[in-house]
Chains A and B, each alone.
Chain A
Amino acid sequence: MNKVYKNAKEALAGVESGMTLMLGGFGLCGIPENCIAELMELGLTDLTCISNNAGVDDFGLGLLLQKRQIKKMISSYVGENDEFERQMLSGELEVDLIPQGSLAERCRAGGAGIPAFFTPAGYGTEVAEGKEVRFFNGKAHILEHALEADFAFVKAWKGDRYGNLIYKGTARNFNPVMATAGKITVAEVEELVEPGELDPYFIHTPGVFVQRIFQGSNYEKRIEQRTVRTK
């Protein structure tokens, strides 16, 4: 079994315009930087991107927005990106804003073979428009459907040739759930190691969910809100 690809260019073979993509990360933390750079390089258009956020104007998914490569975004919070807000308010960009927990669970459900589920989040708000409502234990819930993607792009700290992954700190966020929900999941890692080098007790994403893996390079790991205290 060998899932190793040489670089982002090879690992993204088969990604086409019009596809639905998942991209891990929270803000700029744990985003698949190499895959995003390659998507920009490929110049694909009409992409539907499922990602908690949309990057900032000049980094992360913001790069694809600048080039008008994205047709539709499915996100929970996009407040750090002026270009996004502009494209959304002008109607150039289709946007589906959904509660963060529902987004995570919809990805989890997609990867876990659960087509839909009921959640209280969003009941009584515009998020619930057109969705089935049911009461459980006297409380209103809305029906949310699972999300799946043609490709899921995730970023991990360490990974092995079998696709087992370990994430670092809060760079975990949406990556593990999205890794389960891609028809093809591509993992880019800071450190690619041989099977046996990762402790099986501490694997976050078991390799079965990952189809392609490559050693990433030149990580910028930009910090959005550098907040420190003085000694």
Chain B
Amino acid sequence: MLNKNQIAQRIAQELKDGWYVNLGIGIPTLVANYVPEGIEVEFQSENGILGMGAFPFDGEEDADMINAGKQTVTLNPGAAIFDSSVSFAMIRGKHIQLTVLGAMEVSENGDIANWKIPGKMVKGMGGAMDLVASADNIIVAMMHTNKRGESKLLKTCSLPITGVKCVNKIVTNLAVLDIENGAFRLLERAPGVSVEEIQNATEGKLIIEGDIPEMKLNME
């Protein structure tokens, strides 16, 4: 079973040289720590940065330099700053090659719910609806089940959705899956996790064909 850092590490294997990438809050943010050697990607933060760098050193933080999670950040050489409408022009206009975000639920046809629990949690969708409506390449990073042990990979989402038929790939603590023709296709197992465990934790339709390999990770 993977921890959050390992989920991020597995997603980082999907990065390609030259890509512009938007990382959501939570596990997705950790992907920046695992960019493979030899490739260059630029991270976009939807509040107005391309070329977002590491967190600042203690004492060097600047209130006027934050990411979309409101954390203090730095800029890499060659970074660019812009306003919110330009930022979403990049997103809506498909100039960003990969979006990684968290989710509360994903359905077998690729719907995603991650912004609202009616009557309980109302924080707003932020940029998530714009991202999922436009991006061609969306990877969801999340735990396979919720705190009550219930599957988050469902037939249909029970929570208000953020976008329809938009998720391409899901990396969980148990597995890597693609969404294909209205079903989850199992691609890889987390080390030590059986196909049965994944099947049991998946409520939606799961396609299992042939031998399912274990993920290759530099386990920490």
Interface residues of A (CB under 8 A from B): 26-30, 52, 75-80, 85, 88-89, 95, 97, 99-105, 107-108, 119-127, 157, 168-177, 204, 221-231
Contact = CB atoms under 8 A, between A and B. Distances in A.
B202 interface: no
B122 A88 contact: yes
Q: 8 shortest A-B CB distances, which residue pairs?
A: A101-B88, A79-B123, A101-B130, A124-B164, A169-B64, A221-B63, A99-B129, A104-B84
Contacts of B213: none
A184 B18 CA distance: 43
Contacts of A103: 84
Interface in B39-95: 45-49, 54-73, 81-85, 87-88, 91-92
A127 B84 contact: no
Contacts of A102: 129-130
B161 A170 contact: no
Interface in B150-192: 160-164
Interface string B123-165: 1111111100110000000000000000000000000111110
Contacts of A77: 123-126
12 contacts: A26-B70, A76-B126, A89-B122, A99-B128, A102-B129, A123-B164, A124-B111, A169-B81, A170-B64, A172-B83, A174-B84, A223-B66
Nearest to A52: B84
A26 B47 CA distance: 7
Nearest to B68: A26
Contacts of A157: 64
A105 B85 contact: yes
A71 B47 CA distance: 26
A134 B133 CA distance: 14
Nearest to A224: B70
Given A76-B124, A124-B163, A173-B83, A99 B130 contact: yes
B210 interface: no
Nearest to A229: B55
A79 B64 contact: no
Contacts of A223: 61, 63, 66, 72
B65 to A, nearest CB: 4
Contacts of B63: 28-29, 171, 221-223
Contacts of B69: 225
Contacts of A27: 47, 66, 70
Contacts of A174: 83-84
B119 interface: yes
A230 B61 CA distance: 12
A104 B82 CA distance: 12
Contacts of A78: 122-124
A223 B61 CA distance: 9
A223 B58 CA distance: 13
Contacts of B67: 170
A157 B63 CA distance: 12
Contacts of A26: 47-48, 66, 68, 70, 84
B83 A175 contact: yes
Given A123-B164, A170-B66, A228-B55, A101 B92 contact: yes
Contacts of B65: 169-170
Contacts of B122: 78, 85, 88-89, 95, 97
Contacts of A227: 55, 61, 71-73
Contacts of B88: 100-101, 104-105
A31 B45 CA distance: 18
Contacts of B61: 223, 226-228
B160 A126 contact: yes
A107 B85 contact: yes
A192 to B, nearest CB: 18
A222 to B, nearest CB: 7
B126 A100 contact: yes
B36 to A, nearest CB: 21
B84 A177 contact: yes
Contacts of A121: 92, 129-130, 133-134
Contacts of A169: 62, 64-65, 81
A230 B57 contact: yes
